[in-house]
Structure 1
Amino acid sequence: MRVEIERRFLAAPEVLTRCQSGVHIRQGYLHTDDKNTLRVRRAGERGFLTWKGKKQGSSRAEFEREISPDTADFLLRLLPPERCLEKMRYRVEHAGLMWDVDVFEGPLAGLILAEVELQHEGQPVTLPPWVMREVTHEKRYRNSRLVGRRSPPRNRAA
């Protein structure tokens, strides 16, 4: 089982000038509680089923398996709309690291999150100029907490 180590940030719209070709993602949450998240995702032409464990610092256990796109679509159709979200994901390189920039759609339109996966929690990260503030430890910016919202979380000072 792999350990996911990532930091997440609110991103300014200026990042969109660096976003060239992205992949459309629709994901839904089959189960979520304080210790477990089970998600199904359709990312472009691929499907995934992912379990994520409890977050500890910037890390958590993750188990992901590719599933057929038809299976992903079937599972997503079983979920009510308030358990799903849609976004475009772009990959943007900065200072030797690859960032995932998520531009949310639907009720979350206007929200742009950028995350970077790390090799270890203490790994230094040179922040791009389009990063506004870190939200790694703010639960309200987790995708599993964003589903069902009628608008993006309000940006308040950290």
Structure 2
Amino acid sequence: MAKEIERKFVVDGAGWRDLTERAIPMRQFYLAAAPDRSVRIRVIGGVTAVLTLKFGRRARERDEFEYAIPLEEAREMEAFAVGHVIEKTRYHVRHDGFLFEVDVFAGELAGLVLAELETPDEMPDATLPAWLGREVTDEAAYSNAVLALRGRPAEPS
């Protein structure tokens, strides 16, 4: 079992684009989603599929289990998806030795750009890149499961 410790941010600037190391197209959907657990299937680059189980109520730290599954079975399970299928491209971006995953959403969520940072320790806010906007780690509306179930969150006023 691996603990996932992450922070999530809305991306405001485009400064990350020049730092991109890799772009990975993804299609993901949920078979179950509740405040304390989720079951997700992710198809990566159209060639591999992963089943992910997440448990826990704390946004910054959850238990996560991942398993490779046959691509054809993943495609069959999409018929059982709850909510919408999420389509996005994930970009790997390094800043000060940390790997940020910047997700650029397509389809119903087009225009939404979020960045996640997974680290074993907290990263001081002073070292965060300038292209990050508001932190939304503790806002459930920005979790992928809630995005799949409810769509794009309303912009704060």
TM-score w.r.t. length of structure 2: 0.88
Q: Paired residue for 2:70?
A: 68
- CA offsets, 1:108-156, max 9 Å, x none? 1000000010113x34362111101100000000000001445x32331
Kindly, what percent of the aligned residue pairs are identical? 37
Q: Paired residue for 1:10?
A: 10
Q: Aligned AA for 2:154? A: R
Q: Paired residue for 2:146?
A: 145
What 5-or-longer segments of structure 1 have no aligned partner?
none
Kept after mapping to 2: 8 A contact 1:12/1:132: yes
Alpha-carbon distance between aligned partners in 1 of 2:132 and 2:100, rounded to the nearest angstrom = 11
Q: Which runs of 4+ in 1 moved over 4 A?
A: none
Q: How many residues align?
A: 154
Residue 12 of structure 1: CA displacement? Answer: 1.9
User: Could you say what secondary structure the match of 2:4 adopts?
Assistant: strand
Alpha-carbon distance between aligned partners in 1 of 2:58 and 2:150, rounded to the nearest angstrom = 25
Q: Paired residue for 2:58?
A: 56
Q: Aligned AA for 2:36? A: K
What 5-or-longer segments of structure 2 have no aligned partner?
none
Residue 17 of structure 1: CA displacement? Answer: 4.0
> How does 1:72-91 map onto structure 2 within 5 Å?
72-79=74-81, 82-91=83-92
- RMSD of Structure 2 on Structure 1 (CA): 1.9
Kept after mapping to 2: 8 A contact 1:84/1:148: no
Q: Paired residue for 1:34?
A: 35
Which is richer in strand? Answer: 2
